[in-house]
């Protein structure tokens, strides 16, 4: 009966955890950190590396915002991207993103990549990066991107691709 009770407790935590803040769920499990911040957990004597969670709302150094939805068992995810900058004269619209993350083991900080198919222009941007927890426990996404714009002829191909970097930090809800 004791094993069944422990199993039910773990199962209920797995089901309820997305609804509760990370701090409340992990407080009794040897973990410290606030919801949306890197977790510092231990399994007895040895602390695990802080975890960076890719899902959630993020903002970058240019003021663009993105939301990454749940990551499935294969590491695939969907989301949306609302850029704050554009070189087109078009009205900016929220655009879909899709990507995947790779985690070599549960103690590492995820590498990932995603593509944004811009809803307001005929261009596409691919991002690649890694999710880190800095020394203060703050989650940071360090990314590099390639933006490919449409050009009318092969002669203009050299002008079609831009390269850049962005640093994303977690966008806090008004409750936090």
User: Residue 7 is inside which H or E element, if any?
Assistant: helix 2-16
Q: CA 17 to CA 130: how far, in whole Å?
A: 24
% of residues, the chain, pLDDT over 70:
66
The DSSP symbol for 8 reads H
* 59 close to 49: Cβ distance less than 8 angstroms: no
Q: What is the pLDDT of residues 109-136, one digit of tens each?
A: 889 999 999 999 999 999 999 999 988 9
Nearest by Cα to 91 from 81, 80, 83: 83
Tens-digit pLDDT profile for residues 129-172: 999 998 898 999 999 999 999 999 999 999 999 999 999 999 87
**Cα 156-158-164 angle, rounded to 5 deg:** 130
**For residue 67, what are the contacts with CB-CB under 8 A and spacing of at least 6?**
56, 57, 58, 79, 80
Q: How many helices (H) and strands (E) does the chain have?
A: 2, 10
> Residues 102, 119: contact at Cβ < 8 Å?
no
Domains of the chain with CATH codes: 56-170 (2.40.128.30)
Convert 65-125 into a string of H (helix), E (strand) and C (coil): EEEECCCCCCCEEEEEEECCCCCCCCCCCCEEEEEEEECCCCCCCCEEEEEEECCCCCEEE
| Angle made by CA atoms 52, 66, 80, in degrees to the nearest 5 | 120
pTM as predicted: 0.70
């Amino acid at each position: 009966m004791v094993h069944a009770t422990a199993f039910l407790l773990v199962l209920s935590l797995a089901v309820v955890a997305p609804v509760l803040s990370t701090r409340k769920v992990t407080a009794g499990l040897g973990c410290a950190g606030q919801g949306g911040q890197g977790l510092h957990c231990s399994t007895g004597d040895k602390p695990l590396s802080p975890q960076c969670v890719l899902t959630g709302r993020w903002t970058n150094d240019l003021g663009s915002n993105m939301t990454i939805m749940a990551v499935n068992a294969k590491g695939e995810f969907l989301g949306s991207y609302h850029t704050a900058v554009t070189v087109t004269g078009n009205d900016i619209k929220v655009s879909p993103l899709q990507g995947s993350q790779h985690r070599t083991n549960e103690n590492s900080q995820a590498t990932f990549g995603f593509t944004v198919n811009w809803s307001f222009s005929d261009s596409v941007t691919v991002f690649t990066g890694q999710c880190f927890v800095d020394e203060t426990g703050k989650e940071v996404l360090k990314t590099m991107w390639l933006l490919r714009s449409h050009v009318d002829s092969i002669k203009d191909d050299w002008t079609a691709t831009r390269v850049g970097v962005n640093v994303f930090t977690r966008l806090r809800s008004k409750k936090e």
